[in-house]
Amino acid sequence: MRQKFGRWFIPVAGGLAFIYLLVPITYIFVFSFNDAGRTNLEWRGFTLENWKNPCGAPNVCESLVNSLQIGLVATIFATVLGTCVALGLVRYKFKFRNTADLLIILPLATPEVVLGASLLAQFLNLGWELGFSTIVISHVIFCMSFVVVTVRARVSSLDPRLEEAASDLYASPFLTFWKVTFPLLLPGIVAAALLSFAMSFDDFIITNFNSGNFSTFPKFIYVSATRGIPAQANVIGSAMFILALVVVVTSQVIAYRRRKALAAR
């Protein structure tokens, strides 16, 4: 009985957890086809009009474009700065290195409410107008920590003998980095960039503190939640989920084919 219970418990528990995670996503996808009127709280019938016109709700596409722009800009800055910091922390020994480690972890450990309120106070003291620039700065601060942690793990796993071999073959430091180090770091950098973009696009608390009248997609969803999120927002959410799923599946298939090709060699 114990063996049977143990053999079935993990698959059943895992399946229930998986279903629990998919319930909200299923709700979003189903209600993207709802023939909603002023509210999207009750099922009123099936329609494809929402998918044909995803910008039908006021300001939904405008807020989506704003979030995409902020996510791209914040991801670029956070990825470049975070990669440089990760390389510096792993490859070089300097004074106050442990302090730098602590400062990198602080944005991850600090509650978003505290971080958002603190950034708001700084912007107001500096006299900055809240908007696109303040949101980007705020997102770079907490996204950079995720980039550092991700890329640092990749840097720590590199074999230094490969770079030493390039130097023995008279490669300059820049050429060694570009031809050897950077290609090895690229998977970690891409993973960090994707994580950074996801965190930036999804953020609401810090954005709400430092955005002023500037609207983003999470803010639009929050404001619309009281009267039922528009079906067009569900369409955009479903489309982004499908796109992310396609990217993940494609990357896994490519990685599997590469491993298979290497094993065949």
Instruction: Give me the pLDDT at residue 74, please.
Output: 95
Instruction: Give me the pLDDT at residue 70, please.
Output: 95
Instruction: Give me the pLDDT at residue 265, please.
Output: 75
Three-state SS string over the chain comes to CHHHHHHHHHHHHHHHHHHHHHHHHHHHHHHCCECCCCCCCCCCCECCHHHHCCCCCCCHHHHHHHHHHHHHHHHHHHHHHHHHHHHHHHHCCCCCHHHHHHHHHHHHHCCHHHHHHHHHHHHHHHCCCCCHHHHHHHHHHHHHHHHHHHHHHHHHCCCHHHHHHHHHCCCCHHHHHHHHHHHHHHHHHHHHHHHHHHHHHHCCHHHHHHCCCCCCHHHHHHHHHHHCCCHHHHHHHHHHHHHHHHHHHHHHHHHHHHHHHHHHC
Instruction: Give me the pLDDT at residue 134, please.
Output: 95
Instruction: Give me the pLDDT at residue 97, please.
Output: 80
Instruction: Give me the pLDDT at residue 172, please.
Output: 85
Instruction: Give me the pLDDT at residue 255, please.
Output: 81
Structural domains present in the chain: 1-57+231-265 (no CATH), 65-229 (1.10.3720.10)
What is the residue-level pLDDT of the chain in tens, covering all 265 positions?
A: 677 777 788 888 888 998 998 898 898 899 889 887 767 778 888 888 889 888 888 888 999 999 999 999 999 999 999 999 998 888 888 888 888 888 888 888 888 999 999 999 999 999 999 999 999 999 999 999 999 999 998 888 888 888 888 888 888 888 888 888 888 899 899 989 999 999 999 999 999 999 988 999 999 988 887 767 888 888 998 998 898 889 888 888 888 888 888 888 7
